[in-house]
Structure 1
């Protein structure tokens, strides 16, 4: 992948490894990393550089102007959030397996629950 987002037409999901490749662009603000879990989950663990937009308040949220990667605990809520934003014209992808898979494959220092 080499630090670039795939064509949205190729699918709605990115693997944690693909997201890890994009961390420099996320840190530069070129891509938004959105955690769609709830506040209590956010307080327990998160991916550095992410912004919290709970799925329960997604209807109130304005999609970012930059492309966005959305994650949750296991990847189901983030798929719904990604679909919702795509229907509103945003470039968005869901991280498959959520933060649980991120902890297992990318950063074991992120606690699991």
Structure 2
């Protein structure tokens, strides 16, 4: 089961995930043009951007022992990537439900909606 974490709940998830000593990762799987349209500021996490289609080829760049919360536009792509990561042995994975769109509404209204 993949944790579903709303952007407003992310600080609590990050704090819990970091209790094991590893800095959590927010994996943004949106396309480069989407990253230019709207982005998040790393606060309590490392931000890594890898487009969804590149995840399998770039899996070796990631540490399966670190907690990962996956972000996309609305939450569908990130859910698929989170499930893939869990199948690849990542021990702590969450989907950021509602994606960057809900991030703007709940957490940072300065993030543009597109």
**Shared topology, TM-score over 0.5?**
yes
Between stretches 83-92 and 57-66, larger displacement belongs to: 57-66
Distance in 1 of aligned mates of 2:13 and 2:93: 14
Per the alignment, residue 21 of structure 1 pairs with 12
**Scaled by the length of structure 2, what TM-score is found?**
0.80
**Could you list the per-position Cα deviations for residues 46-102 of structure 1 after superposition, in whole angstroms to 9, with x for gaps in the alignment?**
111221011010111223331100010000000000000000010211100000001
When the two chains are superposed, the root-mean-square deviation of aligned CA atoms in Å is: 1.9
1:78 alignment partner in structure 2: 78
The higher-RCO structure (CA 8 Å, 6+ apart) is: 2
Gaps of at least 5 residues in structure 1 are 1-8
**Structure 2 residue ranges without an equivalent (≥5):** none
Aligned residues: 102
Write out the 4+ residue segments of structure 1 that deviate beyond 3 Å after TM superposition. 20-25
**Do residues 88 (structure 1) and 79 (structure 2) align?**
no
1:22 is displaced (CA, Å) by 4.8
Is 1:32 aligned to 2:25, yes or no? Answer: yes
TM-score by length of 1: 0.80
Give the 3-state SS of the residue equivalent to 1:108 in structure 2. coil
